[in-house]
Structure 1
Amino acid sequence: MKKKLLSVLLTATTIASLVTGCGNKSGSADTGASTSAGGQSGEVEKITVYVPTSGKTDDMEAVMAKVNEISIEQIGVEVEFKAYEFGQWFQQYSLFLSGTEDIDILANYGGYLNAVSQGACYDITDLIQEYGQDIISMEGDYLKSGEIDGHQYAVPIYASYSWTMGMIYRQDIVDELGLTEQAASATSLEDWEPILAAVKEAYPDMTPYALNNGTTASNFKYGPWDDLGNFYGVLMDPTSSTEVVDLFETEEYSHLCSVMHDWYEKGYCDKDIQTQTDSFTVLTRNDAAFCTLGQADFNTAFYQSTTCNKQMGVTLFGDQVARTYNNVCYTIMSNSKHAEAAMKFMNLWFSNKEIGTLISYGIEGTHYVLDENGMGAYPEGVDSQSTTYHLGSTLSNINRILWESENPDYPELLVDNNTNCQKSTALGFSFDTSAVTNELTQLDNVCNKYQAGLETGTLDPETYLPEFIQALKDAGLEKVIAEKQAQLDAFLAQ
């Protein structure tokens, strides 16, 4: 069954293969208006796709010529890509939504709901049924992440939708200290206390516990709950409950804060953890940190081992649960004059591995070669700095070649995980914050004062957690929770 599912999904590439890569300037490929016949109608329509990127696009025109050979023949659509460096992209994003640019397909990074609220997105409910069957087959229930009020506005990337909180740690160190089984069987933060103590004693110059992302963002961002878009009202038991509750008043949150404070007092965390600037990856590469809490799934150990250049392990706290994911998704713009053609191309992008590979890595023999395992690598004498094309892919892609640094089993594992995982009762729900904008601003101000200190252990929860809870209530948290509950109830009643 697993192989059957994989064979189906490997014919449907995720559009995420586009979204990483570019230089300091915007790159585009305009292949000109096509007059040759293509597709079933014999007419060729031209569309434009806007994407952010952090790689190289010097040879975009040559790559798009190859893409269009396939696209024109199969669906009668010619495509032009315009790629912007990420910083420039976010500066220009409001302009993209304004409708003044000639955009047919737009990549959205965290701005999808705002784009819909501005009327910038085409309602593709009917189009995807007619021209997006490969997308529907691949995404299944996860396509709901691009729905609002029963209308489809976006296609989310095919990603690892299910995850939980996990402890990410140096596998080589626990092996050396004879703690391999103890780490693998740890199911709670308390189980990690003796391991941290052993690491502190054996490696006095190493910080036993560090923040994952090197900022003051929530240390518990990837908790086992479903945050429904933000922390202000969550589902604590997302697979069976639909009751929105205050996370910060739960026993679970209080317990996490207490454990972190205990670790801080015992010296398992750096005294400056609240202002830590280096990421866990950087610290680990420099032998300066042992473990961290973070988002964890089937591929975390492999990915962390690759990025940290160390042998890494991961212990999951609880079951992996799939939640709404629309942080990265693709929309057809409401002012598109070629919406049908755009939908056809999005579907082809999902279903044609050659196109997926071309867009992500360029032309074989020129921009990449295949190694003995059939995985992509730069040609001899070429690297990420000298290549003339590499949009790259650090996002989930299963219908393209894999790059040499990736897990060779990733496609099969991803499909299996997404197919067999538990799902939140709120999968597909997106919270409309327009009715509580002022309250959210005030709540953010309160969190900026208390949350990082409590979650890094620098503030004593016995003293400061009650203050935090009351300040949140004074800022309007109960109103936000009530609004979120009402919207969730309406969503579930559809």
Structure 2
Amino acid sequence: MQKCSRYKRIFMTISIILLLSAYSTGCSRPPSRNIDNIDYSETVNLIYYTIGEPDKDLKLVNDKINEITARKIGVTITYIKVGWQEYEDRLNTLISAGTPFDIAFASNYATTTMRGAWLKLDDYLTSLGKDLYNTVDPIFWQGVQMNDGGIYGVPTNKELAVRDHWMYPASIVKKYNIDISKYNTLESLEPLLQMIQQKEPAYIPMELDRDSHNFFALYGYEYIVNNKVPLMVKSLDADAKVVNIFETKEARQILDTLRRYYKEGFINKDAALREPGGLKRGDKVFWKSSGGGPISETTWSKDRGYKVVSNPVTPNIVTTESVRGGIMAVNANTQHPIESIKFLNLLNTDPELRNLFNYGIEGVHYRLSENGQAIPIPGKDSEGNPIADAPASYAGVQYTQGNWFILRTMGGDNPEPLDKWEQFRKNNADAVKSTVLGFTPDLSNLAAQVENIEMIWKKYYPSLMTGTVDVDAILPKFNEELKQAGIEEVQRETQKQLDARRGSKK
């Protein structure tokens, strides 16, 4: 009995020590420290890559971020932005070469996850990242799950359904009393574009770029592999077949309409070569399409340099593509998984840090209105005079960097409504989930075919989807080369896996 009692006391002593140890290391935040007295040698530095043009004041903002993160979680970051056109290639190179980094914007989440690039987060999200997990809408977590049921990235908590919006200059809409809600098909735009061409020659009637737009979503289609592999499925049809969209009658109708518009001079002549985002501030464009959620006109108006109004033309459907549009992931080879989760948790739950990432430093890059909205501070010339249209010295890429619902709304000449985030929540509640939400075909055995298909896509898609080339001559070549590249094999395998998934769900 004495021996048993002694073992019991030893066990209780060890349990108390372990409990105190856990409390002091993993279950509580370190005590707040005065910024001036932070010992940065005690912090862990994380290397973070994301998309966006490097800002003039990026280091200034990075230093301010580190003051906050060092004080609150004992972490600093090296904040690296890579330009829009270079980012995907740079990320692939980092992964392939095994270059050390900790966190990155996962621009091609499914593909890079299947390459083993990202840390599986499930265990962290039930412990250290529990606040983060509870902050993000559950449908996002469903959408980022991979085939093994695991979660390998943190989705941006934003609008669930990214609908295509057709936008127009507010002044032109008012001048001609246009009811933009009546124009929901590509064909319906023709009389409007003719009128603009005749009466407003300073305006480009329709602006497209080489990535063009997912006009197929007008008919309820979504991509099933990625948007450079033209295999699609009807979002709300539980038994829909995977199709090569360029073999459908809907695609033929779209292509013929775009070709007619191009020949009429409605579409900008450089459309097949124009980079995405190549529209300059102040350029006069009548029709343009962009994906967004409620109240996106405010942001688009600021980008365009004049007020625009918009009309959503695609269904309010949550797709895999829409929920995976802005994912931050942790490198599978990181030496600092716990610190990475702490950082992501803070970024998604702490308004001070999240607003700093998005707007920059208060008093330097923005000021607050009387009702707490963020108003950007104009850039200055060499003599310190404000320049209204000067490029921002810092601008976060909002959809790539965490929870929107703790961001300040935007003020200024065209302020966002104070209840913006309530409108977003209502819109999310009304969205309908795609029948293939979260489905990711495993095409690792067909990687060569997928790569060849994407090469053919780059060769033909920009010119076809901007009306630049003759459809009768080019579409058959496109489809024939897709077949030679292996699209039918990829289509069969994708359909097989989709059928298996549907069967398991039933």
Normalised by the length of structure 1, the TM-score is: 0.77
Amino acid at match of 2:465: E
Q: Which residue of 2 aligns with 1:200?
A: 197
Q: Which residue of 2 aligns with 1:139?
A: 137
State the Cα RMSD in Å: 3.5
Establish whether residue 407 from structure 1 lines up as the match of residue 416 from structure 2.
yes
| Offset, 1:404 | 3.8
Q: Distance in 2 between matches of 1:217 and 1:49?
A: 31
- Contact preservation (8 Å) 2:193, 2:205: yes
| Offset, 1:389 | 8.6
Q: Which residue of 2 aligns with 1:32?
A: none
Describe the superposition over 1:321-353 as per-residue Cα deviations: whole angstroms up to 9, x where unpaired. 111233432223333444344334422322222
Amino acid at match of 1:197: Q
Q: Which residue of 1 aligns with 2:70?
A: 68
Q: Which residue of 1 aligns with 2:370?
A: 372
- Contact preservation (8 Å) 2:379, 2:392: no
Q: Distance in 1 between matches of 2:325 and 2:253?
A: 29
| Offset, 1:291 | 0.9
Q: Distance in 1 between matches of 2:365 and 2:473?
A: 58
Q: Distance in 1 between matches of 2:168 and 2:378?
A: 34
Q: Which residue of 1 aligns with 2:245?
A: 247
Q: Give the 3 Å change call, closer, same or farther, for CA 476–260 of structure 1 in structure 2.
A: same
Deviates more, 1:448-457 or 1:253-262: 448-457
| Offset, 1:140 | 0.6
Amino acid at match of 1:434: S
Describe the superposition over 1:236-284 as per-residue Cα deviations: whole angstroms up to 9, x where unpaired. 34464442112111121111112112222333234554344695742x7
| Offset, 1:145 | 3.5
| Offset, 1:290 | 1.4
Amino acid at match of 2:398: T
Q: Which residue of 1 aligns with 2:113?
A: 116
Q: Pick the aligned partner of 1:316 from 293, 312, 319.
A: 312
SS in structure 1 of the partner of residue 291 of structure 2: strand
Q: Which residue of 2 aligns with 1:470?
A: 480
- Contact preservation (8 Å) 1:164, 1:296: yes
SS in structure 1 of the partner of residue 58 of structure 2: coil
SS in structure 2 of the partner of residue 356 of structure 1: helix
Q: How does 1:385-396 map onto structure 2 within 5 Å?
A: 390=394, 392-395=396-399
- Contact preservation (8 Å) 1:234, 1:247: yes
Q: How does 1:450-465 map onto structure 2 within 5 Å?
A: 450-465=460-475
Could you list the runs of 5+ residues in structure 2 that have no partner in the other structure? 1-23, 31-41, 381-385
| Offset, 1:447 | 3.0
Q: Which residue of 1 aligns with 2:16?
A: none
SS in structure 2 of the partner of residue 187 of structure 1: coil
Q: How does 1:322-341 map onto structure 2 within 5 Å?
A: 322-324=318-320, 325-341=323-339
Q: Pick the aligned partner of 1:127 from 121, 124, 127.
A: 124
Q: Which residue of 2 aligns with 1:175?
A: 174
- Contact preservation (8 Å) 1:261, 1:461: yes
Q: Distance in 1 between matches of 2:114 and 2:164?
A: 32
Q: Distance in 2 between matches of 1:191 and 1:381?
A: 41
Higher relative contact order (CA 8 A, sep 6+): 1
Amino acid at match of 1:328: G
Q: Give the 3 Å change call, closer, same or farther, for CA 160–431 of structure 1 in structure 2.
A: farther
Establish whether residue 57 from structure 1 lines up as the match of residue 55 from structure 2.
no
| Offset, 1:479 | 0.9
Identity of paired residues, percent?
A: 23
- Contact preservation (8 Å) 1:134, 1:347: yes
Q: Which residue of 1 aligns with 2:153?
A: 154
Q: Pick the aligned partner of 2:404 from 375, 386, 397.
A: 397
Q: Give the 3 Å change call, closer, same or farther, for CA 429–237 of structure 1 in structure 2.
A: closer
- Contact preservation (8 Å) 2:129, 2:342: yes
- Contact preservation (8 Å) 1:142, 1:427: no
Amino acid at match of 1:392: G
How many residues end up aligned between the 2 structures?
Answer: 444
Amino acid at match of 1:451: Y
Establish whether residue 106 from structure 1 lines up as the match of residue 107 from structure 2.
no
Q: Which residue of 2 aligns with 1:191?
A: 188
Describe the superposition over 1:441-477 as per-residue Cα deviations: whole angstroms up to 9, x where unpaired. 3323433443333322233334443443333223321
Q: How does 1:339-354 map onto structure 2 within 5 Å?
A: 339-354=337-352
- Contact preservation (8 Å) 1:226, 1:424: no
| Offset, 1:421 | 0.8
Q: Distance in 2 between matches of 1:387 and 1:278?
A: 18
Q: Give the 3 Å change call, closer, same or farther, for CA 413–281 of structure 1 in structure 2.
A: farther
Q: Distance in 2 between matches of 1:40 and 1:64?
A: 22
Could you list the runs of 5+ residues in structure 1 that have no partner in the other structure? 1-36, 72-76
Q: Distance in 2 between matches of 1:246 and 1:91?
A: 27
Q: Give the 3 Å change call, closer, same or farther, for CA 476–188 of structure 1 in structure 2.
A: same
Q: Distance in 2 between matches of 1:129 and 1:202?
A: 60
Q: Give the 3 Å change call, closer, same or farther, for CA 89–197 of structure 1 in structure 2.
A: closer
Amino acid at match of 1:201: Q
Establish whether residue 86 from structure 1 lines up as the match of residue 82 from structure 2.
yes
Deviates more, 1:93-102 or 1:449-458: 93-102
SS in structure 2 of the partner of residue 165 of structure 1: strand
Q: How does 1:408-487 map onto structure 2 within 5 Å?
A: 408=417, 409-487=419-497
Q: Distance in 2 between matches of 1:381 and 1:440?
A: 45
Q: Which residue of 2 aligns with 1:285?
A: 282
| Offset, 1:100 | 5.9
| Offset, 1:159 | 3.1
Q: Give the 3 Å change call, closer, same or farther, for CA 162–186 of structure 1 in structure 2.
A: same
Q: Which residue of 1 aligns with 2:211?
A: 217
Q: Which residue of 2 aligns with 1:17?
A: none
Q: Which residue of 2 aligns with 1:7?
A: none
SS in structure 2 of the partner of residue 162 of structure 1: coil
Q: Pick the aligned partner of 2:234 from 223, 227, 236.
A: 236
- Contact preservation (8 Å) 1:232, 1:481: no
- Contact preservation (8 Å) 2:43, 2:70: no
Describe the superposition over 1:36-77 as per-residue Cα deviations: whole angstroms up to 9, x where unpaired. x776468798462513363323343344223333x2xxxxx3
Deviates more, 1:459-468 or 1:201-210: 459-468
- Contact preservation (8 Å) 1:121, 1:332: yes
Normalised by the length of structure 2, the TM-score is: 0.76
Q: Distance in 2 between matches of 1:40 and 1:62?
A: 26
Q: Which residue of 1 aligns with 2:262?
A: 264
